[in-house]
Structure 1
Amino acid sequence: MAGARDQASLHLTATHRARDWELSIDLAAGETVAVLGPNGAGKSTLLAVLAGLLRPDTGHATLAGRELFRLGEGRSSWLAPHRRGISLLAQEALLFPHRSVLDNVAYGPRSAGIPRAEARELARRRLADVEVAELADRRPAELSGGQAQRVALARALAPEPSLLLLDEPMAALDVTVAPQLRRMLREQLHGRTTLLVTHEVLDAYTLADRVVVLRAGRVVEQGPTTDVLERPRTAFTADLAGLDLVTGARTDHGLRLEDGRELVVGARGVVDDGALRVGDAVACAFRPGAVDVRSAGDGPAGSTLRAAITDVEPRGDIVRVRSALVAADVDVQRFAQAGWSTGDVVDFVIDPDAALVYPR
């Protein structure tokens, strides 16, 4: 069964007019792809279409060489959800309350026609894989949230699905429990074709080989996880990744912004420098923690962007100071002593050694 799973590549192209949703996505066999985006971006629609719970208007999809659906183009085919070889792990465990933990996990194999004794033995192995074998005889009502989600993961893995769909599996867990499940997922997803929907950049970094960013039912960026989250091409993706992003043209020492201001960047912060020429379109990303705020006129030339404060957000012992162009993290006591407020024009000073310049 593992050999078959290793060949489980996915291709999907589909549209849903009522939801203004249109996208194409591919997963290589054994690859984990994280799908990021805000509420309403189309993440749940993607999962529902793949799981067979929502019928798109047009498109086609194949998984492990089998056609899941083909709609439009003069003919129609639609594979029933239970025949797709797809398992879905949702935010809530959704275990059958009247069944034991063992029988919950054995349910998928039994539904596929595996004899009861064999299905229960497979279920015991899956429970051991997620380190909850001792819970086999309990009922779901006797489990903690973290335990229930581990059992739900075991149930999702038991049928050896060709594709595993994870719908924000840690969203409903306590912050002290989520890291444990994240570790468990990292172990269990290895070699499995998986689509992970999440709001958390940390999930993408720790679990995903690639990232797809959705906005308003469209793919706006995709690529290897570190490339997308550390070198975003759009302000939208930069915001998801917690980065500041400015764009402009390459200069000898950094970049010239579209408004004519120049920003100096450290020599080691230029990606693909050999392929970049002066005048080429580039993006520059840096973290708000690499930006200082000073009174207007106090910032050094070459690393200062003057702008009005548009928003102030307390974050424990720091304050996130935002402008229309960049944001900075400033010590809360220093911010209070300076007396800055919304509307004040200040100098945002960027650490040139913390900025990354790359082709746009």
Structure 2
Amino acid sequence: MKSMFSAVLGAAVLLAAQPASAQFVMTRTTPGVTYYHKAGATLADHDTQLAQCVADAQTTAQPASGGNALVLINPALGIAGVSYDLRRNRAGRRVNIENCMVANRWAIMTLGDADASRLSPLVREPARLHAALAGMVGAERPVGILTRWFTNDAVNGASDRFSGAERTEGVSLSLEAGMGASRGLIVLPPTPALPRPTLATLPLEPLERARHIRVTDDSTLVFIRLTGDIRVSADIIAFERLGPDASTPAWVDQRANLFAPSLNHRSVERGLPRVGVYAYRLPPGRWRLAGMARTDMAWSFCQGTIAFDARPGEALYLGSFDLSGQMLPDMTMRDDIVPASRRPEGLRAAEYTAEGRYPCSSVYIYGIEFPAS
């Protein structure tokens, strides 16, 4: 678990075939005989992306049933841990390979009976199957039925995102053929030598006293609003400060690089939405929406996410996140963010932009994008 987000959270179906009212399950593989497709791509493109997704999936692990991944202790101190379910790891990594490919804009095509009967026997002959896929993975008119493609499923409260990976379904011809061809294409960078973390690097807590909610010259004051019903009361979203490079966490400068607001402490009458507004004082830098978690299930948006720049002396509004709906920031500046009498001068909406992939870990992996306005 290389990043602070994974430290905190990891230690701490068919879209076209289903009726519109069905719940999409992100923790299972697509049934049927399938392959990955991207118009115009080559077989080499397919193999390289598959290799990257296999490598990223190998960094994930399924927690043991009843475990709790939300242990807010820096595991680099050697005092926090979580047990993993080795039986479910195989299924979970298959799920993560599929989610990774979809997050990188590869669609899933499901073969009809005739094509499935023709190609399925080649699973026993990976080289022949690989050759057969050469004309399929990038075809302008692909074989089969389009059954899954990228949407912001990970931030859709209607999706099933937090169940364990109990089993896999279907046969992925891409995976069966491409494992051998992809082997050796991706070489992971060595883990850098890191200093020992201190208490100053632990995740930030929200500011509680009014006198602390003020702008300072060496930090960025941010406000974030969460809403959701009782079902999401244990959910968190996590923001992570970027380090000097992809392999080095930002806390090497001995300042915190994570904050993770939740509605967990908000009491409410049954049936009414919970609302929480939180203020944090952040070290300056670039901060990405790194993932989300519910008890022992965590997601990393390591395949691409959104991020904002925090500059010293600024006050930013990070938006309102509906944890039981579309969990992307609504940047409407509401009256309940902060009372007018305490609203910092110059408070403005954060500007989110796209942020690329980074080293993965956690239980599940995916990517998100901010819809164009």
- TM value normalised by structure 2: 0.22
* Structure with more helix by fraction: 1
Q: Choose between structure 1 and 2: higher strand proportion.
A: 1
Greater relative contact order (Cα < 8 A, sep 6+): 2
TM-score norm. by structure 1 comes to: 0.22
